[in-house]
Structure 1
Amino acid sequence: MEHSRTLVLQDVIDARRLSRFQIVTFVLCFSILVLDGYDTVVVGYIAPALKAHFGATPAQLAPMFGAGLFGLTLGSFVFGPVADRFGRKPTLLVSIALFALFSLASAWADSIGMLIALRFLTGLGLGGAMPNAYTLAAEYCPNRLRSTLVAPIGCGIAVGGALGGVFASRVIGAFGWQAMLVVGGVLPLLLIVVLARWLPESARYLVARGGRQAEARAILGRIAADLDLSDVDITLEEKRAQGLPIRQLLQPGVGGGTLLLWTTAFMALLVIYFLGNWLPILIQQSGVSFHNASLMTALYLTGNSLGAIFLGILMDRMNPQYVLSAAFVCAAVSLASFGHLSGAPALALLALFVTGVGTGGTMTGTNILSAGYYATASRATGVAWTLGMGRVGSIVGSMVGGAMLAAHWGPKFIFGAVAAPLVVAAVSVFALAAYRSRHPATDGEARCAAVGSPVH
């Protein structure tokens, strides 16, 4: 390989142990997601203080949460194509700057209306940062370890949310709700300085764009210092994509898989946000005390994070679509059963934990699948639009719970009904396995695998 004039980028990454350069890149992507997670949930922690400060009713605060979700959704749709056009790194820096500055500005908001507008703008940046951090991390992973490595990075969202809770318990009482937003603005601005210096551009992106071989060789030299790269051309073993990235997602041989990924993400995030908003209330309506309801909710969230890691490991060792499909089915059965288990606390806890694994864990897995499915030229768009479709589901899920409760549905019936989208997600991701087997030539991961890695 060292004496060949052409060299396949993924071959080099696959043939070596992880370098310090790659590990630093993964840590930086994890840090981005931690701060993204913090700023995504921070309004939930400060909502009681906002209610008291502005004398607002819950109905007046509700649009603030909705504005953030709409911003996240739009940000995913916008910044994916931007990253495929202008690069992963500059798009990440702009996205982080957006949510940092508008979070900081929110600390000086003098009305609920201003907060609503600022939360929408903050959401735009948050929606752009998450999928591009996933994409950049995935593009530096060996194929054999992609899911194992990216899944823990995805847990940064949950870590950021948990840190928000830790800070809230200490900061709001001492410094006021504004301090939480200041933290959410200052820390990302400091991280931008680090990222500008240490975060690399995607080597795959540099090669795919053409004319940037020198930059790609410099980066690859930090991964494979033993290679003489002075006289080689780096290739991707991919056909050069034609047309806009969004059009590439729906081209023949790819579009069917795109629709299946979108369906999976929509259904998964619908359930995740439904449970995130309504689970404590529904548990209490099942006859459980507030204290135990809080513990059960915490166990569900723990399943989200541990499930992502566990499923990521399995996805690198088995057919990843089958792994996610089985997890969705287990979550559907557990969720539907939960409403009938109030008299059996141990089984109820187990059911919630499995539900957490099969919702939060599978959504991380779906993001990883999308990162492997698309070619380099449309990968950021593919990941971002998959997550964007999921965000649409999150908006629906947030509203569905209120509608069900307003219709006086009982907890048992609600849990059973909400299990249905998980069954749809299981069928969609199972069908994706069949679709990929019929269209391997247009599958981004299959193209990489054709040069040395096993096809899942």
Structure 2
Amino acid sequence: MSNPLRDSVDAGPMTPYQWTAIGVCIMLNMIDGFDVLVMAFTAASVSTEWQLGGTEIGMLLSAGLLGMAGGSLFIAPWADRFGRRPLILFCLTLSAVGMLLSAYSQSPEQLGLLRILTGLGIGGILASSNVIASEYSNARWRGLSVSLQSTGYALGATFGGMVAVYLLGQWGWRSVFLFGGLCTLAAIPLTLWRLPESLDFLIARRPSNALVRLNRLAARLGQPQLRELPTLSDARAQGGGSRFQRLFTREQLPSTLLLWLAFFLVMFGFYFVMSWTPKLLVTAGLSAEQGVTGGVLLSVGGIFGSTLLGFCSARYRLHLILAVFMLVTALLLAVFVASTSQLTLAFIVGALIGLFANGCVAGLYAVSPLVYDASVRATGVGWAIGIGRIGAILSPLVAGRLIDAQWAPSQLYLAYAAAFAAVACVVLMFRLPSPRARAALG
């Protein structure tokens, strides 16, 4: 495909307009971080009010992740037909309704269904915002841009967690959901104002007034106006089979399966670390307060991990940096529990785990848009994230079964360290397109 606008964006410097678009994507990912933790922070209060057991709380914790998987698998692909921006706005509305109604739920069943509804919206948002962050970056800083977008998760988890603690003490668990719903509503006008439609979507799908819309974006990007739409010479951009089927063509199948396996294993390990660390630290001998502190340090470390991976990816091949992050994560997990005999050392190791584990997730988000061309990018990324969410759902359940089987914390961390080591091998098998080929895909 001859695409001078795409080529100019890839080769040119980053403009304030591009960074603003990426900033909105960071904000959207913060909603994910808050939404994942909101149930974890309110679980004790919800359990007390409704007299729930561990199994029922576990179902509520998994309900949001189940919804996110469904949103990534079945809602996000519609962005390749209707556009990334309209789908994000629809999903924001869906999430806001789910969060606000959760504040007024009258039973565990109602809350569980509303958690699924909220998760559907979040899952749809993530794939599209990740794609936009990638498409509005130039070639040099694309890894950093998507990694920065991924820091939104850690920011939302960290600051949202601190707000949740205050709201729980003042007004109870319902206020936490109300706060989350109002923040999600507030994101809608900001998204309308500052989030542009995907350049690559406008070129590949050619909706009504595509040329006018492209020239409007070109002006904001400081690029010359187009006299006509770029010529489509790539059959993939014009169609040929359903978008989902095109993920499994002879050329695409290996990359799709490797990406799915990588997302599954990373999310399987990541959500074990984020969900169980506070409790397992207490089991290992720390106090409840120290366990919570260790959990918070994981999120704090994550803010820096995604950024570090992004800067490294500007100088080195992304999948090689990602494999290093995964191996370091595995090593840190293997020694984590042994470090709890010295509190300061345990907190340092915990922060480093958060740094590198979040970097692993950010790296996969950065890799995934590079695997697919524009016409199926949201579908491909959405399904990869959805498969990852299945790993996230299974992870706490597997850990719970192993704990019931009398596994010690050190054994659990070693087992999940093996998952990160395995996914490092998977990532090294990636065959990403060269920068010139990436431009052609766009």
TM-score range, shorter chain: over 0.9
Per the alignment, residue 37 of structure 1 pairs with 33
Q: 1:153 aligns with which of 149, 170, 177?
A: 149
Mean CA deviation greater in 60-69 or 376-385: 60-69
Unaligned runs of 5+ in 2: none
Q: 1:108 to 1:424 in 2, by over 3 A?
A: same
Instruction: Summarize deviations over 1:184-207 as a string: whole Å, max 9, x none.
Output: 222222221232233211111000
Describe the shift of the 1:414–1:92 C-alpha distance in structure 2 as closer, same or farther (beyond 3 A): same
- In the alignment, is the contact (CA less than 8 A) between 2:271 and 2:396 conserved in 1? yes
Partner of 1:447: 437
Helix, strand or coil at the partner of 1:150 = helix
Q: 1:448 to 1:187 in 2, by over 3 A?
A: same
The aligned amino acid for 2:394 is V
Q: 1:39 to 1:301 in 2, by over 3 A?
A: closer
Q: Distance in 1 between matches of 2:9 and 2:16?
A: 13
Where does residue 400 of structure 1 map in the other structure? 398
Aligned residue number for residue 182 of structure 2: 186
Q: In structure 2, what residue type is equivalent to 1:70?
A: L
- 1:286-329: per-residue Cα shift (whole Å, max 9, x none)? 23333433333333322222111101111121111111111111
Matches of 2:394 and 2:298, distance apart in 1:
21
- Kindly tell me the number of residue pairs found equivalent between the two proteins: 437
2:265 is the counterpart of 1:267? yes
CA contact under 8 A between 1:237 and 1:447: conserved in structure 2? no
Counterpart contact for 1:158–1:305, Cα < 8 Å: yes
CA RMSD of aligned residues (A): 2.2
Does the aligned pair in 1 maintain the 2:95–2:121 contact within 8 Å?
A: yes
Where 1:253 maps in the other structure, the secondary structure is: coil
Question: Residue 267 of structure 2 contacts residue 388 of structure 2 at CA under 8 Å; is this kept in 1?
Answer: yes
Contact 2:11 2:139 in 1 (8 A): no
More displaced stretch, 27-36 vs 134-143: 27-36
| Counterparts of 1:80 and 1:184, CA distance in 2 | 22
| Secondary structure at the counterpart of residue 140 of structure 2 | helix
Asked whether the 8 Å contact 2:83–2:201 carries over to 1, the reply is yes
With over 3 angstroms needed to count, the CA separation of the structure-2 counterparts of 1:354 and 1:374, relative to structure 1, is: same
Distance 1:124-1:347 versus aligned 2 partners, 3 A rule:
same
Q: Give the Cα separation in 1 of the matches to 2:315 and 2:175.
A: 45
On the 8 A contact 1:37/1:157 being kept in 2, the answer is yes
The answer for the alignment partner of 1:425 in structure 2 is 423
Which is further off, 235-244 or 159-168? Answer: 235-244
Residues 98 and 34 (structure 1), Cα distance of their counterparts in 2 relative to 1, 3 Å cut: same
1:380 and 2:370 correspond: no
**Partners of 1:408 and 1:243 in 2: how far apart?**
50
Give the TM-score, by structure 2 length: 0.93
Change (3 A) 1:123 1:346: same
Higher mean displacement: 397-406 or 296-305: 296-305
Contact 1:37 1:160 in 2 (8 A): yes
Q: Which residue of 2 aligns with 1:3?
A: none
> d(CA) in 1 for partners of 2:24 and 2:233?
28
> Which amino acid in 1 is paired with 2:45?
A
3-state DSSP of counterpart to 1:233 = coil
Matched ranges for 1:121-160 at <5 A: 121-160=117-156
Query: Using the alignment, how far apart are the partners of 2:344 and 2:103 within structure 1?
Result: 43
How far apart are residue 169 of structure 1 and its match? 2.5
Distance 1:7 1:340, change over 3 A: closer
Q: CA deviation at 1:352?
A: 2.9
Contact 1:213 1:234 (C-alpha < 8 Å) held by counterparts? no
* 1:237–1:420 distance in 2 versus 1, CA, 3 Å: farther
Preserved CA contact (<8 Å) 2:155 2:299 = no
Deviation readout 1:186-244 (Å, 9 max, x if unpaired) = 2222221232233211111000013522211221121025x2x2524335885424222
Does structure 2 retain, via aligned residues, the 8 Å contact 1:237–1:448? no
Match of 1:18 in 2: 14
Instruction: Give the CA deviation at 1:405.
Output: 0.8
Aligned mates of 1:285, 1:308 — CA distance in 2: 29
For structure 1, which runs of at least 5 residues remain unmatched after alignment?
Answer: 1-5
Residue type of the alignment partner of 2:191: L
Note the 1:155-304 alignment, pairs <5 A.
155-210=151-206, 212-225=210-223, 227=224, 229-234=225-230, 238-239=234-235, 240=237, 241-304=239-302
TM-score with structure 1 length normalisation? 0.90
1:112-123 alignment runs, 5 A limit: 112-123=108-119
Aligned pair partner of 2:67 in 48, 68, 71? 71
Moved more, 293-302 or 213-222: 293-302
Secondary structure (helix, strand or coil) at the match of 2:286 reads coil
Q: Does structure 1 retain, via aligned residues, the 8 Å contact 2:65–2:389? A: yes
Task: Specify whether residues 54 and 348 from structure 1 end up closer, same or farther in structure 2 by C-alpha distance, changes over 3 A only.
Answer: closer
**Is the 8 Å Cα contact of residues 329 and 356 (structure 2) preserved in structure 1?**
yes
For 2:297 and 2:35, locate their aligned partners in 1 and report how far apart those are by CA, in whole Å: 22
Matched with 2:87 is 91
Q: What amino acid sits opposite 1:448 in the alignment?
A: R
Q: 2:99 matched to which residue of 1?
A: 103
**Larger deviation, residues 330-339 vs 294-303:** 294-303
Q: Does the CA-based 8 Å contact 1:328-1:358 persist in structure 2?
A: yes
Residue type of the partner of 1:185? Answer: G
SS of the residue corresponding to residue 141 of structure 2 reads helix
